[in-house]
Amino acid sequence: MQPTIPDVVQTIPLPYYIWFASALFVIGIVGVLTRRNAIIIFMSVEVMLNAVNLLLVAFSAYRSDPAGQVFVFFIMAVAAAEVSVGLAIIVMIYRNIQSIDIGLLNRLKG
Partner 1 sequence: MNVNYIWYFLTFLTLVSAIMVVVVRNPIHSVLYLILTFFCISAHYVLLNAQFLAAVNVIVYAGAIMVLFLFVIMFLNLREYTAESKTNLVKLGAAVLGGVLLVIIVAALRSMQIEPLNKATYNSQVGMVESLGKVLFRDYLLPFELITVLFFVAMVGAVMLGKRETGERNF
* 45 counts as binding partner 1 under rule CB under 8 A: no
Cα→Cα distances 71→14, 20, 38, 77, Å: 19, 19, 27, 10
3-state secondary structure (DSSP) of residue 101: strand
Q: Decide if residue 90 touches partner 1 (CB under 8 A).
A: yes
Radius of gyration of the chain (CA): 18
| String marking each residue 17-36 x if it binds partner 1 according to CB under 8 A | -xxx-xxxxxxxxxx-xxxx
Q: Does 40 bind partner 1 (CB under 8 A)?
A: yes
**Which of 62, 97, 107, 108 contacts partner 1 by CB under 8 A?**
62
Please state, in angstroms and rounded to a whole number, the distance separating the CA atoms of residues 55 and 102.
30
**Least distance from C-beta 65 to partner 1, angstroms?**
7
- Tell me the longest C-alpha to C-alpha distance in the chain: 63
* 6 touching partner 1, by CB under 8 A: yes
Question: Considering the rule CB under 8 A, would residue 97 count as an interface residue with partner 1?
Answer: no
